[in-house]
Amino acid sequence: MQNWQKHRNYRKYNNADGSFTYIITVEGKDVEVTEAVYKAYSQSDRRERYCVERDIGKKLSLERMDEDDVLMNYLTDAHIESAEDSALRRILAKKAMAAFMTLETDERRLIQTVVFDNVTEQEYADAVGVSQVAVHKRKNRILKKIIKIMGY
């Protein structure tokens, strides 16, 4: 990994007036970029070099996986949902749907639109002629009501 600077495809030049020019070489051509683009590119390059340097001669270990936030269950079949978890998820979904159906029509409409249809609170507020804060408070009250109806 020595002499990486000689082989990198990005450079920063100090101009006579004290400013900098940032260049990234793309397909053999020098392209002038903004400082933000240059920094993002150089940080990405540094991260890549760090990962390569870190992994040279390293063996896979549980400690390393834990440090790198690699979840063990994604390397095994453990990520498959268990029958118990599947049954619990279905029971909770049925309870939530039953609670949802007990709501007033306008309460169901708000939850359907904002929670399930991914319409923003602001968009819903504009459509019904109230403030976003009012929609947010009402949504939270309704969600608490659903939880209470479910028995939690």
pLDDT tens digits, residue range 46-90? 777 767 766 665 555 555 555 555 545 555 555 566 788 788 888
96 and 106 Cβ atoms separated by less than 8 Å: no
Residue 71: what are its φ and ψ, rounded to 5°? -80, 125
Q: What is the CA radius of gyration of the chain?
A: 27
Question: Going by DSSP bridges, is the β-strand pair 10-14/20-26 parallel, antiparallel, or unpaired?
Answer: antiparallel
Give me the amino acid identity at 80: I
Distance CA 110, CA 147 (A): 16
- Each residue of 100-122: pLDDT tens digit? 899 999 999 999 999 888 899 99
Pinpoint the alpha helices (H) of the chain.
4-7, 35-55, 62-67, 83-101, 105-111, 121-128, 132-150
Q: Which domains does the chain have, with CATH numbers?
A: 4-74 (no CATH), 83-150 (1.20.140.160)
Which amino acid would we find at residue 126? Answer: D
Amino acid at 152: Y
Cut 0.85: pTM above it: no
